[in-house]
């Protein structure tokens, strides 16, 4: 039963984060064709800001209730965008003085992530 509440918190937060992302995609241009993907850009930047707020509040004296962090950070921001978690992990590496690991993680994630998307598209388009 100890795992049920965390799963419920993450699931509820993820539901609302995913729904919010969907709403943003209905309000802002998605970048179909050659247009700038404003919806994704806005969601990623907003998600980074929200996760920064949550992480900052969790790190302060008195902190943030771990259940609230699960709901907001892992759940809502995770459903809203995973880019926010990626950026928060990079910020943590920078704060802890691990610049070489930060550079490797950042570069490898971008290059390999993009290559993986291209490979997935290529594989899916094969007869």
The tens digit of pLDDT for each residue in 101-111 reads: 999 999 999 99
Predicted confidence at residue 127, as pLDDT, reads 78
Q: How far is CA 119 from the centre of its chain?
A: 22
Q: Is 120 contained in some domain?
A: no
- Helix, strand or coil, per DSSP, at residue 21: helix
Q: Is 11 contained in some domain?
A: yes
pTM: 0.79
Length of the chain: 127
Structurally, the chain folds into a number of domains equal to 1
Predicted confidence at residue 33, as pLDDT, reads 65
User: Greater confidence, 125 or 2?
Assistant: 2
Which tokens go with 107? 């570069």
The tens digit of pLDDT for each residue in 32-90 reads: 666 778 888 899 999 999 999 999 888 888 888 999 999 999 999 999 997 888 898 88
Which tokens go with 90? 């990079």
User: Greater confidence, 121 or 77?
Assistant: 77
For residue 39, the enclosing domain spans 4-81
Q: Is 119 contained in some domain?
A: no
Distance from C-alpha of 77 to C-alpha of 16, rounded to nearest angstrom: 9
Q: Is 67 contained in some domain?
A: yes
Tokens 């007869």 appear where?
A: 127
Distance from C-alpha of 48 to C-alpha of 82, rounded to nearest angstrom: 9
């Amino acid at each position: 039963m100890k795992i049920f509440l965390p799963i419920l918190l993450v699931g509820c937060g993820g539901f609302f984060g995913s729904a919010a992302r969907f709403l943003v995609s209905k309000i802002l241009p998605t970048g179909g064709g050659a247009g700038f993907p404003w919806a994704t850009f806005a969601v990623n930047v907003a998600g980074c800001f929200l996760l920064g707020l949550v992480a900052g509040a969790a790190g302060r004296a008195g902190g943030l209730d771990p259940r609230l962090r699960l709901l907001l950070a892992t759940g809502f921001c995770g459903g809203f965008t995973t880019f926010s978690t990626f950026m928060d992990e990079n910020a943590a590496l920078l704060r802890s003085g691990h610049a070489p690991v930060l550079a490797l993680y950042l570069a490898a994630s971008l290059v390999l992530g993009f290559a993986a998307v291209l490979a997935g598209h290529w594989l899916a388009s094969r007869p």
